[in-house]
């Protein structure tokens, strides 16, 4: 099947209403436009209904095109494989819109991945054994996965076993406990795709791993085609400590523990270029142990001036002290933040805004840092300006530059001191 999509997402093909059990297969579209996808199905039954799910587990919106659907008998050629190293694409993480965040490769520590034949079809799989019953098996990832506390995830994988049994699948630190971010999955002797949704409750880490545990049962389990999806996606929805929808902040300070937030965003592609979410603190440590923060997500391929802003009610920002403080966190080192004050709405004629202020985090990856910024040459009336603008990773002179990958930033405790 040829399918056109401008965003990476899972495509599920399913046959129902037949003389035997339903059959289905999921393939991942890379988002590069027209791509030919090959779905492998195995059954001796006949079916009446063919169903296509575009991003079934997610919320991607868009227009997609399908062409040249054909059925080819026989097993497809085996995918490339090299000494137990999963091929690029077997693991991927995607954001809430189905866009690829990072390609990941994985290595089986103990066992090379053999060729396994089931019902005449050839599979390349990871064999998991448990010399010590109950010892978690860890699929190590060459690229770490950032897990945000309180965020929901979908873990998708294909699995089967020599006997019907249960396994535990989830995310956690390498070799560590992952009971607070996992699900028990009952697998059978027939290869099938399993998807489980769970929330990282009380757990967040910038270097998480996908983990599988044989749940104290000795034996062999075959696992392949593992994908990790982040559910949700932005636009100022609730989350964190907010029970409903996020709303524009009305006063300073803003601590993001309730529903008051920065919900207005802007970018070179309009809606979707920059999104905000209220989320649990990804790393409650150091100078910031608060429960909830604001997450800012910038898409790949947008100008670096994309950011967030909030228009407070007129007269509520009193900049008599003039010094703002903000706590910031990101896995990206050496980030320069650009801060601006503005009038909203702008008068006619436009009177202009104060010069922006730039503050760089020197190093500072994966730790909370507090920045101070002060605007100069302000008018005598300390409540003139009512809009605060934040542009992460936007040093002076970089406006025409374009982001090369999705970027995630967290901010908290915006205040005047």
Q: What is the pLDDT confidence band of residue 83, given thresholds at 50, 70 and 90?
A: very low
Q: Are 237 and 246 in contact (CB under 8 A)?
A: yes
Q: Cα 339 from chain centroid?
A: 26
Residue 180, classed as helix, strand or coil, is helix
Residue 271, classed as helix, strand or coil, is coil
pLDDT score at 378: 80
Q: Using the predicted structure, report yes or no on whether residue 170 has a pLDDT greater than 80.
A: no
Q: Residue 5: phi, psi to the nearest 5? A: -150, 140
Q: What percent of the chain has pLDDT over 90?
A: 25
* Residue 255, both tokens: 């601590």
pLDDT score at 84: 28
Q: Closest Cα to residue 109, out of 133, 79, 141?
A: 141
Of residues 18 and 216, more confidence is placed in 18
pLDDT score at 54: 92
Give the residue carrying structure tokens 């399918």.
3
Of residues 13 and 168, more confidence is placed in 13
From 171-175, 208-212, 368-372, the region with the lowest mean pLDDT? 171-175
Q: Using the predicted structure, report yes or no on whether residue 221 has a pLDDT greater than 60.
A: yes
Pairing of the two strands 407-416 and 292-298: antiparallel
Q: Are 392 and 403 in contact (CB under 8 A)?
A: no
Q: Indicate the burial class of 152 (C-beta count within 10 angstroms; 0-12, 13-18, 19 or more).
A: middle
Mean pLDDT of 77-99: 33
pLDDT tens column, 321-330:
779 999 999 8
Q: Collect all residues with Cβ–Cβ distance below 8 Å to 407 and sequence separation of at least 6.
A: 297, 298, 330, 332, 392, 393
Rounded Cα–Cα distance for residues 248 and 254 (Å): 10
Rounded Cα–Cα distance for residues 54 and 162 (Å): 32
Q: What is the pLDDT confidence band of residue 165, given thresholds at 50, 70 and 90?
A: confident
**Domains of the chain, earliest start first:** 2-67 (no CATH), 104-230 (2.60.120.260), 247-416 (2.60.120.430)
Rounded Cα–Cα distance for residues 3 and 16 (Å): 21
* Residue 30, both tokens: 């890379």
Three-class secondary structure assignment of 13-64: EEEEEECCCCEEEEEEECCCEEEECCCCCCCCCCEEEEEEEECCCCCCCCCC
Mean pLDDT of 16-31: 83
Q: Closest Cα to residue 222, out of 72, 352, 115?
A: 115
Torsion sign (Cα): 277, 283, 284, 285:
negative
Residue 155, classed as helix, strand or coil, is strand
Mean pLDDT of 144-169: 71
Rounded Cα–Cα distance for residues 268 and 110 (Å): 47
Q: Looking at residue 290, what DSSP letter applies?
A: -
Of residues 114 and 38, more confidence is placed in 38
Mean pLDDT of 175-189: 72
* Residue 231, both tokens: 């559910």
Mean pLDDT of 4-30: 86
Q: What is the pLDDT confidence band of residue 82, given thresholds at 50, 70 and 90?
A: very low
Torsion sign (Cα): 386, 391, 397, 400:
negative
Q: Closest Cα to residue 254, out of 227, 230, 222, 276?
A: 276
Please report the DSSP string for 297-312 in residue order: EE-TTSBTT-EEEEEP
Q: Which of 117-126, 127-136, 280-289 has the highest mean pLDDT?
A: 280-289
Mean pLDDT of 220-236: 56
Rounded Cα–Cα distance for residues 233 and 237 (Å): 9
pLDDT score at 191: 73
**Could you tell me the CA-to-CA distances from 294 to 18, 37, 225, 258 in Å, in that order?**
49, 38, 33, 11
Q: Which of 210-219, 362-371, 374-383 has the highest mean pLDDT?
A: 362-371
Q: Are 373 and 339 in contact (CB under 8 A)?
A: yes
Tell me the pTM.
Answer: 0.48
């Amino acid at each position: 099947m040829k399918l056109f999509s401008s965003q990476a997402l899972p495509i599920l093909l399913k046959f129902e209403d037949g003389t035997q059990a339903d059959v289905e297969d999921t393939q991942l579209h890379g988002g590069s436009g027209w791509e030919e996808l090959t779905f492998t199905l195995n059954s001796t039954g006949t079916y009446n209904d063919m169903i296509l799910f575009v991003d079934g587990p997610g919320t991607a919106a868009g227009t997609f095109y399908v062409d040249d659907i054909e059925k080819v008998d026989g097993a497809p050629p085996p995918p490339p494989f090299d000494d137990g190293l999963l091929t690029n694409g077997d693991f991927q993480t995607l954001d809430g819109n189905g866009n690829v965040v990072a390609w990941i490769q994985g290595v089986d520590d103990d066992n090379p991945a053999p060729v396994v034949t089931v019902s005449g079809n050839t599979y390349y799989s990871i064999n998991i054994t448990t010399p010590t019953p109950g010892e978690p098996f860890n699929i190590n990832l060459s690229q770490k996965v950032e897990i945000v506390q309180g965020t929901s995830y979908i873990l998708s994988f294909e699995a089967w076993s020599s006997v019907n049994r249960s396994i535990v699948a989830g995310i956690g630190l390498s070799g560590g406990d992952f009971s607070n971010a996992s699900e028990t999955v009952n697998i059978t002797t027939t290869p099938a795709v399993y998807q489980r949704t769970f929330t990282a409750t009380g757990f967040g880490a910038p270097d998480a791993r996908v983990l599988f545990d044989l749940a104290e049962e000795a034996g062999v389990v075959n696992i392949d085609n593992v994908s990790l999806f982040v559910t949700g996606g932005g636009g100022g929805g609730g989350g964190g400590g907010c029970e409903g929808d996020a709303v524009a902040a009305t006063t300073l300070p803003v601590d993001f523990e309730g529903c008051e937030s920065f919900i207005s965003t802007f970018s070179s592609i309009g809606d979707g270029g920059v999104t905000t979410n209220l989320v649990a603190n990804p790393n409650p440590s150091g100078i910031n142990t608060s429960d909830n923060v604001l997450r800012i997500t910038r898409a790949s391929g947008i100008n670096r001036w994309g950011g967030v802003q909030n228009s407070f009610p007129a007269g509520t920002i009193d900049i008599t002290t003039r010094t703002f403080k903000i706590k910031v966190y990101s896995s990206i080192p050496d980030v320069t933040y650009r801060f601006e004050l503005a009038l909203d709405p702008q008068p006619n004629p436009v009177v202009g805004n104060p010069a922006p202020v730039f503050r760089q985090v020197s190093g500072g990856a994966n730790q909370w840092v507090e920045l101070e910024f002060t605007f100069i040459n302000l008018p005598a009336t300390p409540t003139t300006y009512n809009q605060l603008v934040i542009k992460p990773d936007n040093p002076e002179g970089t406006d025409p530059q374009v982001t090369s990958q999705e970027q995630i930033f967290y901010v908290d405790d915006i205040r005047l001191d």
